Structure 1
Amino acid sequence: MIRKPHALALAIILAGTLGHAGTSLAATSHDHGHGEGAPSLQLDAGKRWATDAPLRQAMGTINDDMRQALPAIHEDRLPAARYGELAETVRGQVAYMVENCKLSAEADAQLHLIIAQLLAGADAMSGAPAGQRDGAVTVVGALGDYATYFADDSFKPLEH
């Protein structure tokens, strides 16, 4: 379960109240001020973390949208507007996760690390054209991390 103070703050940010700068702040605030000892993704005693239906649905939606855009991203021909659409998909699905996922505190902490990656990628994809492709790479990396660290048999990792 995503902690209520974080969920509320993230929901406000994702609703656009604070704009893109606020979303960047949310993405970087997930380390909870641990500095150099910032948490890193890890398995649950050697096993992938349990998921719930809302998490699987949201990550599947992001994955499917990125899968459709991947050929154009690889060929460096995806229009800037489409990167913006991808960013909005990511933000919308993250907001859905925050509102609906019910995970253990430990799994939630791991999910926050992936959410930070997703939001950082979304920010870059909706920013200057020079950084949009890098933002997509960040999102693809987050999707790969999700497949590695979370148990979701319906999730088909992107091949790139």
Structure 2
Amino acid sequence: MKTPKRTFLANAIAAAVMAAALGTPTTAAQTTAHDHGAAMPHKLTLDHGRKWATDEPLRASMGRIRSLVEPQLGAAHADKLSPAHYRELAAQVESEIGAIVTNCKLEPKADAMLHLLIADLSAAADTMAGKNATTRPALGLEKVVEAVNQYGTHFDHPDFKPIRNVR
């Protein structure tokens, strides 16, 4: 059974994804568990050419997600991860997403950008967990890696290294 907070987050992310697909602008109030009053962007961008500021809880959780998924890529490429292993990995990624959302202390524009990544991470975790029967869990893992790399490209996280060999 989902907790009310988790259900709200899942519904908010689903609304953001649907609105983006339909080209309908959404607000942060519609897509996040907290409202900073900023309009929700549709595409991940830099902050006037600079990476967005981060805080320690975000850096810690993104570092843990990176550490969870990078070692699994070789086995995923060799088709050696079981559905149970993907589900466990998805649960761990979802746990870190929850920590990020709970501890969000970014300024509103950076927060809006972060929530684009959170939506990507959440959708990818769902794929790994087998919630999309038409998509292989390995694709979910690749999408998590792509989101982690986008984080490193768009957010200021000293010494963050992109994950190589995504595919």
Q: Matches of residues 1-160 of structure 1 in structure 2 within 5 Å?
A: 12-13=5-6, 23=10, 25-30=11-16, 33=19, 35-36=22-23, 39-127=42-130, 128=133, 131-160=136-165
Distance 1:79 1:129 in 2: 17
Q: Which amino acid aligns with 1:133?
A: A
Contact 2:61 2:96 in 1 (8 A): yes
Question: How much has 1:28 moved relative to structure 2?
Answer: 2.8
1:105-133 CA distances to partner (integer Å, 9 max, x unpaired)? 00000000000000000101001495201
1:154–1:85 Cα change, 3 Å: farther
Question: How much has 1:33 moved relative to structure 2?
Answer: 3.3
Contact 1:84 1:125 in 2 (8 A): yes
Contact 2:70 2:145 in 1 (8 A): no
Aligned residues: 144
Question: How much has 1:101 moved relative to structure 2?
Answer: 2.2
1:76–1:47 Cα change, 3 Å: same
Question: How much has 1:152 moved relative to structure 2?
Answer: 0.4
Stretches of structure 2 that go unaligned for 5 or more consecutive residues are 26-41
Distance 1:45 1:32 in 2: 27
Instruction: Determine helix, strand or coil for the equivalent of 2:80.
Output: coil
Stretches of structure 1 that go unaligned for 5 or more consecutive residues are 1-9
Contact 1:26 1:116 in 2 (8 A): no
Q: Normalized against structure 2, the TM-score is what?
A: 0.77
Question: How much has 1:31 moved relative to structure 2?
Answer: 5.0
Q: Which amino acid aligns with 1:12?
A: K
Q: For the aligned residues, what is the CA RMSD?
A: 2.3
Instruction: Determine helix, strand or coil for the equivalent of 1:96.
Output: helix
1:69-89 CA distances to partner (integer Å, 9 max, x unpaired)? 111012121111111111011
1:90–1:59 Cα change, 3 Å: same
Identity score, percent? 40
Specify which structure has the higher proportion of helix. Answer: 1
Instruction: Determine helix, strand or coil for the equivalent of 1:82.
Output: helix
